[in-house]
Amino acid sequence: MTHYVRFTLDLDSPPTLTDAAGARYGILEGDQIRPVRSLFAPEPDGALINRNQVKILPAASPSKIVCVGRNYAAHAKELGNDIPAEPLIFLKPPSSLVADGDNVVYPKLSANLHYEGELGLIIGKRARNIRAEDWREYVWGYTCVNDVTARDLQRKDGQWTRGKGFDTFCPTGLWSVPLHEVNFDSLRVQTWLDGNCVQDAPVTDMIFPPGAILAYVTQFLTLEPGDLIATGTPEGVGPMQIGSTVRVAVPGVGQVENSIVAEQ
């Protein structure tokens, strides 16, 4: 399995959200990183770098983060919602991205912060008005996502921008893996809260699989290389507390682990 990471050599700088600001890509080889030109051009680009010399950044560098709500029937049921007749789409801002090991900030505006483990798709080719059966031509690969949600604000507002969009509300995987190296039907989404497994479901339980999601989304917007799609969370969502540690994993793809801290 090839593990691609996005990184910066400046250990003192905050996570960089755009490649233009200094982020690079590489292939993780044990304790070293082999730099490559980009996710989409994996030719070697320099000498090996020790992993402890870099800051690992969010696996994706998207112009937009497209998310799917209520895409597992059991999750819709646990929150008292109907199963949607078509994909329920919302956006998270790129400013919500954080990497593995970064803190998730519990905002003062919320009193009910939830984890939502998900499989993430990284777009590799511009996509508009595509057919569902062609989705593999447009997805570069996979990562994992924690769609952190201020549940009380989501319910209060009636729309999800504030409840889903705070800074640090989109941890993404430590690495990403190419599509062709993974059997989609074998994947599972798992979440651990303080060491206890709280979510575990196969991605085949999705109501709308990746092809249906991409076909629907690209009817009204253009997906660009690097864009991130969070495909929805299975049942088992619940609250996190300040001091909690949450880990989202998709075995065969990767994981992301973060601590919850109070807003200063």
What digits encode the pLDDT tens for the residues 182-193? 999 999 999 999
Number of structural domains (the chain) is 2
**Contact, 169 vs 126, CB < 8 A?**
no
Span 20-30, average pLDDT: 83
Tokens of 22: 């200094």
- In this prediction, residue 261 carries a pLDDT of 98
Same domain, 103 and 184: yes
Domain's final residue, options 56, 76, 91: 56
Same domain, 120 and 186: yes
Same domain, 104 and 214: yes
Nearest alpha-carbon partner for 165 in 88, 109, 234:
109
**Residue whose tokens read 């109501």:** 207
Per-residue model confidence as pLDDT tens digits over 59-74: 999 999 999 999 999 9
The amino acid sitting at 117 is G
Domain's final residue, options 38, 56, 74: 56
235: CATH: 3.90.850.10
Strands 196-202 and 170-171: unpaired
Same domain, 206 and 140: yes
Same domain, 79 and 192: yes
DSSP state of 77: H
Same domain, 11 and 73: no
- In this prediction, residue 17 carries a pLDDT of 34
**Would you put residue 194 in left (φ > 0), alpha (ψ -120 to 50) or beta?**
left
Domain's final residue, options 56, 81, 96: 56
**Residue whose tokens read 């690992």:** 56
Same domain, 146 and 197: yes
Domain boundaries, position 171: 65-262
Distance between start and end Cα atoms, the chain: 40
Same domain, 162 and 88: yes
Global confidence as pTM: 0.95
Same domain, 105 and 163: yes
Same domain, 235 and 258: yes
Same domain, 145 and 165: yes
Same domain, 48 and 75: no
Q: Hey, is 159 helix, strand or coil? A: coil
Q: Using CA atoms, how far apart are residues 227 and 94, in angstroms rounded to an integer?
A: 10
Per-residue model confidence as pLDDT tens digits over 69-107: 999 999 999 999 999 999 999 999 999 999 999 999 999
Residue 159 has pLDDT above 70, yes or no: yes
